[in-house]
Amino acid sequence: MITVEQHLERVLAAVRPLAPQRLPLDQAHGCVLAEEVTALLAVPPFDNSAMDGFAVRAADVAAADDGAPVRLRVVGDVPAGSAARPPVEPGTAVRVMTGAPVPPGADAVVPVEHTDQAAGPGQELPAVVEVRRPAAPGAHLRGAGEDVSPGAVVLRAGTPLRARDLSTAASVGHGTLLVHPPVRVGVLSTGSELVPPGQTPGAGQIPDSNHVLVAGMVREAGAVPVLLGAVADDAAALRARLAENLGRVEAVVTTGGVSAGAYDVVKEVLAPLGEVTFDQVAMQPGKPQGFGVLREGAEAGPGAPSDPGLGVPIFCLPGNPVSVFVSFQVFVAPALSRLRALVADAGAPAAAVAATGWRCPPGRRQYMPVVVDGTDDTGALRVRPATAGGSGSHLVASLAQADALAVVDAEVDAVREGDAVRVMMVP
């Protein structure tokens, strides 16, 4: 048996960040930025109106009032996007829309509501506008560069790009960014007993819950699942499904077929394709684990894992669904973070206290799905097992209740009510 740390170390030593690529903004969401981004354009890019109304000289309308409106001759119309710049001379106004460039000579905008003109679409350009309120110099004007000036740093390397980061990049003039590209993860279930979700299982069959579990966890880890379906416990079918798909993924996660069964074909198939080893890890659930590197169409031999074209890391997780969930959290998620070039780690487990006791397996670190039931007087989280059935790795239906995994050291044979435990919160 090896420890969780030994297995994780081996996994992380075999993966490194995908080489940066320049991608269009609409493909870069969730990717980690590989460059510092500076503004090419100012924001706003030019002086413009904050209101639909009339660009005026503030001095002209200083005394305007409902009882004594100021009449200005309208000498032009500037919708947003227009290149027109009709000058505003004393005694004149130019109609402007929100976002339209402020014409030369104007130093204020009077909103349409403060004039005799009707608001809304389809209004003809009037020859004369009556202004009924004064406007201070600068009123309703938005100055070029108010937010950022060209050359300002707007995004730092290492940022996982959110929607608003992409909008920032677009607003300062970028159409592409240098990013660590999306990590595509092949998701493959194995087992002759599996039927697709929603299909009534026949004798001895069960729904394939692992496929949607792994695909969803891949998404929650910021990577992109590539659904490779389920294969029966048949060596040729498994070999073919992997070989067909290796070229289009940066990692693979399989479930099932890694323990001691007579039909556990994952082990049998993987040796000739690459370098995958199968270990017993001192954890519960998740004891049998396979991990290694596959090379597309290549013979087995040492290489540089996760370099495009050189190798694809493969995680062969045990079939029991709770084992899949835990193994993904503990081994696959950190590896996907590294492939994405994320620097932030998951952080230390939080302090909690057991609201009820439970049994633990001898000699294996336990990852018990738990529900958080508030906090105690000291502020520690109160936790209890998510299922009345304890820590069985097949108790998948209760997994949805879990808020966290309680991590109990291998030497502990039972957690008693009131014991301190560490918990990892789960998505």
Binding positions for ligand MOO, rule: CB under 6 A: 284-287, 318, 320, 323, 393
* Residue in the shown chain whose Cβ atom is closest to ligand LQZAQKY5: 319
Residues that bind ligand LQZAQKY5 (CB under 6 A): 189, 191, 193-194, 206, 208-211, 255-261, 264, 285, 287-288, 318-321, 323, 393-394
Minimum CB–partner distance for residue 286 and ligand MOO (Å): 5
Give the 3-state secondary structure of residue 330.
helix
Of 148 and 402, nearer to ligand MOO (C-beta) is: 402
Minimum CB–partner distance for residue 351 and ligand LQZAQKY5 (Å): 29
Of 103 and 285, nearer to ligand MOO (C-beta) is: 285
Of 53 and 285, nearer to ligand MOO (C-beta) is: 285
> Cβ(245)–Cβ(228) under 8 Å?
yes
Amino acid at 318: P
Minimum CB–partner distance for residue 383 and ligand MOO (Å): 20
> Cβ(178)–Cβ(33) under 8 Å?
yes
Alpha-carbon distances, residue 274 vs 7, 212, 235, 288, 302 (angstroms): 18, 26, 15, 19, 9
Minimum CB–partner distance for residue 424 and ligand LQZAQKY5 (Å): 19
Of 16 and 239, nearer to ligand LQZAQKY5 (C-beta) is: 239
Concatenated DSSP letters of 121-176: TTPPPPSEEEE-S---TTTTEE-TTSSB-TT-EEE-TTPBPPHHHHHHHHHTT-SE
- Of 297, 278, 304, 300, nearest in space to 289 by CA: 278
Q: Which residue has the tokens 């080893």?
A: 277
Minimum CB–partner distance for residue 217 and ligand LQZAQKY5 (Å): 13
Of 280 and 375, nearer to ligand LQZAQKY5 (C-beta) is: 280
Angle, helix 333-340 to helix 4-13, in steps of 10 degrees: 20
Q: Which partner from the list ligand LQZAQKY5, ligand MOO, none does 186 bind, CB cut-off 5 to 8 Å by kind? A: none
> Cβ(327)–Cβ(8) under 8 Å?
no
Of 175 and 201, nearer to ligand LQZAQKY5 (C-beta) is: 201
Q: Which partner from the list ligand MOO, ligand LQZAQKY5, none does 47 bind, CB cut-off 5 to 8 Å by kind? A: none
Give the 3-state secondary structure of residue 221.
coil
